[in-house]
Structure 1
Amino acid sequence: MKLIAFCSTGMRVAAVAAGIAVLTGCGSLPLPDKPQRPMVYDFGPGLPAASSGPAGAPLALAQVAAPAPLEGLAVNYRLLYAGSGQQPQPYALARWSMSPAQLVSQRLRETLAAQRPVVNVGESLAALELRVDLEEFSQVFDSPGASFGLVRMRATVVAPLTRGERLLGQRTFTARQPAASNDAPGGVKALTDATDDLARQIVAWLAELPVPQGARPVAPAARP
């Protein structure tokens, strides 16, 4: 009986020793990796300020509107070459700091403010009101080794009047910029460049529109 008890005790000690060796020795199990956090991107520090003050007519800028897929923070891409160009897909480890619509609004305001006073809708006496709908904002792969940033906006300019408003112009702008790399950083840079291109196009287009006489700002109407 004593021999059996001794053997049982010895087996327990050996088992404990073997467990310690597994945890501390060369045969230890690998610990799980820490989850990777997504990188956060924006459009950068902004455009340099103009040397002279804005000289154009005051403009009221409405918040850029966007469809539901562009209201989140995902950096989207499309695989055009794979036949799935109609299915935007998000990068797993990349996020925008704000929604694309908010980033575009910020950049558009910066660009416009270098040319003319820019206010929010209903805040001040502005003879023109600009409304922008963001329709496309994604990195498009037309082959496994080539991609570009694609941005499309529809801009509408109205003159706020005491009774209703007057449509002055509407135009759809599209820009595509090649991506330097076929990944999230390359897509972010290409989308930033495309947005800057469209902002400059909109500024030039606004300069061609006539400013109506006697226009008065009114309370902003609810947008659908």
Structure 2
Amino acid sequence: MESTLNKLACIALLAALGGCATKGAPTTVYDFGPLTPAAAPAATAAAALPALVVADVNGPASLDSNRMYYRLLYADAQQARPYAQNAWSVTPLQLLTQRLRARLAQAGVKVLATTDAAVGMPVLRLEADDFSQNFDSQASSSGQVSLRASLFRAHKLVDQKTFTRSTAARSADAAGGARALADSSDAIAADILAWLNTLPAALPQ
């Protein structure tokens, strides 16, 4: 009996999340929203950083699509489920690339693309390990982002570090997940800035 009730509860949640598509229904598109002012400590810490080449964020094939996914950790954590009527404006990998470059530039770093790189410039490469909205219960979810950052100079690895942030969603739906993932991405950008500031000897003056 309890198992049947749990299944019915999951079915009800899936319907609420948009797991059941309605033919002809419009798709709601999300992005990270406008760039808000950065926290003063992060901006101050990055003010002395020089120019930096920031490569496009790489990641699994599931993040190279506009589809929005979520996981029901309490039901089946290994299954990523797509929202039926919600999508990203671009892929999560593109969103992360745009946001991280924008945050670094906002903090005073001269951000360059790989095509603009000069010989000997430090290169920041980023690999997305996780970018997901995870439901701990029917009414509670969080947006988790995990990035592995590697700093290279003259083709040699200077340092590497993994950054993970999880932000509680304000609502148990796609809108709440989008906002939480944007907040987690901004928090990781601040973490990366702080990390880069600990490596002044590895960067050109």
Kindly state the Cα deviation for residue 48 of structure 1 after the two structures are TM-superposed.
Answer: 3.6
- Residues 204-224 of structure 1 deviation map (CA, whole Å, 9 limit, x = unaligned): 101111344779xxxxxxxxx
Aligned ranges 1:51-200 → 2 under 5 Å: 55-82=48-75, 84-114=76-106, 115-125=108-118, 127-159=121-153, 161=154, 165-200=155-190
Q: Which structure 2 residue ranges, 5 or more long, are not aligned?
A: 1-21
- Matches of 2:61 and 2:202, distance apart in 1: 35
Which residue in the other structure is 1:38 paired with?
Answer: 27
Rounded Cα–Cα distance in structure 2 between residues aligned with 1:34 and 1:142: 30
| Cα deviation 1:91-118 (Å, max 9, x = unaligned) | 1111000000000000000111123101
The ranges of structure 1 where at least 4 consecutive aligned residues each deviate by more than 4 angstroms after the TM superposition are: 49-54
Aligned residues: 178
Question: Aligned to 1:199, what secondary structure does the other structure show?
Answer: helix
Please report how far the alpha carbon of residue 123 of structure 1 lies from its aligned counterpart in structure 2 after TM superposition.
1.2
CA drift of 1:128 comes to 1.3
**Secondary structure of the corresponding residue to residue 208 of structure 1:** coil
Alpha-carbon spacing, 1:78–1:55, altered in 2? closer, same or farther (3 Å): same
Partner-residue secondary structure (3-state), 1:63: coil
The structure whose RCO (Cα within 8 Å, separation 6+) is larger is: 2
Q: Deviations over 1:58-101 (max 9, x none)?
A: 1000000010111101111000011x111111111110000000
Instruction: State whether structure 2 residue 196 is matched by structure 1 residue 206.
Output: yes
TM-score, L = length of structure 2: 0.80
Identity percentage over the alignment?
Answer: 42
Shift of 1:135: 1.2
| Alpha-carbon distance in 1 for matches of 2:114, 2:103 | 17
1:16 aligned partner: none
Change (3 A) 1:56 1:214: closer
Secondary structure of 1:103's aligned partner: helix
Distance 1:47 1:116 in 2: 17
The 5 Å alignment of 1:14-25 reads: none
SS at match of 2:74: helix
Unaligned runs of 5+ in 1: 1-32, 216-224
Contact 1:54 1:116 in 2 (8 A): yes
Other structure's SS at 1:78 match:
strand
**Aligned equivalent of 2:8:** none
Contact 1:134 1:152 in 2 (8 A): yes
